[in-house]
Structure 1
Amino acid sequence: MPIRLAIVNDYEVVVRGLADMLRSYSDDFEIVELNADTAVASSVDIALYDTFAQTQGDGDAVSQLVANPLVDRLVVYTWNLGHVLSQASVAHGVAGYLSKSLTGSELAAALRAVVDGEVVVSPDPGRTGAVIGGDWPGREEGLTAREAEVLALITQGRSNAEIAERTSLSINSIKSYIRSCYRKIDARSRSQAVLWGVRHGFLPDRIRVQDPD
């Protein structure tokens, strides 16, 4: 029987991008829901939670997914792989804490191991761990995944301190991403960046797609 999977993130482009990454493994996985800012409503073996512009693996959203009786196991898909955060996530009931530097085949293998009862935690690849799969708003405009995440949180009205807390990045790193992001979108102020973000799909979506093709 294929593994029943729900993909969870507040951005439609993100959940669809992750679904596309697993499309070559349709014999092993049945993606029964794509969820953007909605709760999982079908019984699934795994809810795969992408942390793009979300709280991390030790946050309330993860706790709610762990408590959802329709979710058998929860897997966090992230680039924040520090030991403290990954262990805190496992302590919250996360069964997999997986790196966005995994290839599609590596991600599929890790999800199979989780269903087999293993707790799978990716090691921290450090600065060499580039994002490989998935998608994010602003990619076509040349924004990196991290720049897009910071811009998404700016568009949501988050302060630099709130963005740092949510992304587990330092304030200096946040400021650096903001500067590089502004250059790429030709914004000279935060209000211009917010307006650009609203016009280019950086506000959270609200969809549930059941049994996506």
Structure 2
Amino acid sequence: MTPPQAPIRIAVVNDYEMVVAGVAAMLSPFSDRVAVVEIDAGLPVITDVDVILYDTFGQVQGDGVDLEDLVRGGGAKVVIYSWNVQPELVERTLAKGARGYVSKAYTAEQVVAAVEAVSRGEVVQPTPPESVGPERGVWPGQEFGLSAREAEVIALITQGLSNQEIADRSYLSINSVKTYVRTAYRKIHVTRRSQAVAWGMTHGLSPDRMRAVDPAS
């Protein structure tokens, strides 16, 4: 009789506590297949894990991610979890050493399946956009009607980035960034950048520093 396989050990990484907690909650129904043993916001992974799931909300995207800093000499494989699935960005990111790149439009089961494939030694790329649904997960500002991308733009404004810097980091056109800024401002009832920064700082859009480690790990 084949012994049951232990769940794949995962660390979820992002600079926002709400985001990492949301990803962990999304994966929790699949604890027999993946075990989230550490979640980190703004801190390095300290637990010996099989896979690091890096959420790009408010962070450096794709090929700009410092994979060596994430892994810190360990043997964990890195999976990028992002709404930005431009083929050229995915290709460059995988070429730098990431083992998987999954869309935030994936269902939780699709994310788990991708993590399992990476753990087996496969390289995973996102499926075509038409085969997946709307963005999932939890992000700051969601309760005020901000979409994931609008919230990310406000997060980057709160971090002090200009529209051009946001465009460069997010691989968006400057016109797309301006559109997200305009629609986000309407939803949060601000008209100036200084107001948006103040709003972001009081509504969870400033980077956090926290770590939660499963004591059983």
Would you call these one fold, judging by a TM-score over 0.5?
yes
How far apart are the structure 2 equivalents of 1:144 and 1:197? 14
1:76 is matched with which residue? Answer: 80
How far apart are the structure 2 equivalents of 1:128 and 1:113? 18
Asked whether 1:158 is paired with 2:164, we answer no
How far apart are the structure 2 equivalents of 1:212 and 1:87? 37
Residues 158/141 of structure 1: CA separation in 2 closer, same or farther (3 Å cut): same
2:170 is matched with which residue? Answer: 167
1:99-118 → structure 2 map (5 Å cutoff)? 99-118=103-122
Q: Select the residue among 13, 20, 39 that pairs with 1:8.
A: 13
Task: Give the alignment's Cα RMSD to 1 decimal.
Answer: 1.7
1:85 is matched with which residue? Answer: 89
The Cα offsets for residues 33-59 of structure 1, whole Å up to 9 and x where unpaired, read as 101011111110000000101111211
How far apart are the structure 2 equivalents of 1:210 and 1:100? 24
Asked if the contact 1:114–1:120 (Cα under 8 Å) also holds between the matched residues in 2, the reply is yes
CA drift at 1:79: 1.1
2:207 is matched with which residue? Answer: 204
2:3 is matched with which residue? Answer: none
| TM-score (norm. length: structure 1) | 0.94
The Cα offsets for residues 105-158 of structure 1, whole Å up to 9 and x where unpaired, read as 1111111111111000013416975202x2100011111000000000000000
Gaps of 5+ in 1: none
Identity of aligned residues (%): 52
Asked if the contact 2:12–2:55 (Cα under 8 Å) also holds between the matched residues in 1, the reply is yes
Instruction: Please tell me the residue identity of whatever aligns with 2:168.
Output: E
Residues 149/71 of structure 1: CA separation in 2 closer, same or farther (3 Å cut): farther
Mean Cα deviation higher: 120-129 or 202-211 = 120-129
Count how many residue pairs are aligned between Structure 1 and Structure 2: 211
CA drift at 1:70: 2.7
Q: Select the residue among 52, 64, 70 that pairs with 1:47.
A: 52
How far apart are the structure 2 equivalents of 1:128 and 1:104? 12
The Cα offsets for residues 55-102 of structure 1, whole Å up to 9 and x where unpaired, read as 112114334225x22342000001111111001101110000001111
